[in-house]
A and B are shown apart, each in its own frame.
Chain A
């Protein structure tokens, strides 16, 4: 195994309280840190834990493809690993959930013979389960990135919980400093209308970023969604529309009796 290595960690969504001990240790032990976080406390904390830390947000340029940005991030991380340093990449939330450069950097490092691993963190989905009282064991849970959902023939199961991420910039793959126009929202609603009534109750959700702060939980309906304020952190949670139909044959094969 070559001398450089890579460890990828997450700060959680609220770094005050959601940062794990093993992530703190990994940051302290690194020779070099690259970080991409969205709140000033997480940034200050990372810099205190390890003054070598360097932000990757410099790669976000107005009008630049986000995929090019992610490639630049991976290249910088790998350059450090190839230089023989213990490199740590830090992202907000869970570093493996909606973090394309984290997975790519690990795959690339391993393919070049370097040790690379990821430590789990607390994702926005974990926060959603806690804040909205959703247990995926109850009804199952389908979770899609909104652009991916709009552009593919995915099948929703309205008897399960559904989570759609990044609903405020559907179809945008260029970073825009000033925010995004949400031209894709009507297309999302058009697809959802195949499964739900317009008055189906849904929630706009944003996890809390600071300790003691409340998450954003905004009840609304699908037809009211275009008038509901959204930010780049907004997630759409759609509760089940009806109970799942039992598969009677399987109940019988398992020798189970159904309650009437």
Chain B
């Protein structure tokens, strides 16, 4: 995965000050983080498919089925 993009998003997740800076001025925050033009375009596109492509390098979008952690349990229901 692209190191700078991953690091940038991970920092936003744990640092509310950085998240606020990004939300106020995304272009400056992304430039400061050294993101590539394609990465910046994906993040500002509002399109999750494009973000997945940048993160996983998969032109199909790269997102498999949700693993899910709940399943109907037939054995409990005769």
**A residues touching B (Cβ–Cβ < 8 Å)?**
15-17, 19, 24, 36, 38, 40-41, 44-45, 48-49, 57, 60, 65-67, 70, 91, 98-102, 145, 147-148, 151-152, 166, 173, 175-180, 208-214, 231-233
On chain A, the residues within 8 Å of B22 by CB distance are: 211
Complex-state Cα separation, A101 to B9, whole angstroms: 28
Do A48 and B10 touch (CB < 8 A)? yes
Do A232 and B65 touch (CB < 8 A)? yes
On chain A, the residues within 8 Å of B41 by CB distance are: none
Do B68 and A211 touch (CB < 8 A)? no
Complex-state Cα separation, A232 to B67, whole angstroms: 9
Do A177 and B65 touch (CB < 8 A)? yes
Contact flags (1/0) for B35-62 with A, using CB distance below 8 Å?
0000000011011100100011000000
- Central interface residue in B10, B23, B77, by most chain A CB within 10 Å: B10
Contact flags (1/0) for B8-48 with A, using CB distance below 8 Å?
01101110000100110010000000000000000110111
Would A208 and B48 be within 8 Å (CB), given that A16-B12, A41-B13, A45-B13 are in contact? yes
Closest to A65 in B: B71
Which bracket fits the contact residues of B? 20 to 34
Complex-state Cα separation, A231 to B66, whole angstroms: 9
Closest to B13 in A: A16
Shortest B17–chain A CB gap in Å is 13
Pick from B6, B46, B73: contact of A40, CB under 8 Å? B6
Complex-state Cα separation, A91 to B68, whole angstroms: 10
9 examples of A-B residue contacts, CB within 8 angstroms: A41-B10, A44-B10, A45-B13, A67-B71, A67-B75, A100-B69, A145-B72, A179-B65, A232-B68
On chain B, the residues within 8 Å of A24 by CB distance are: 14
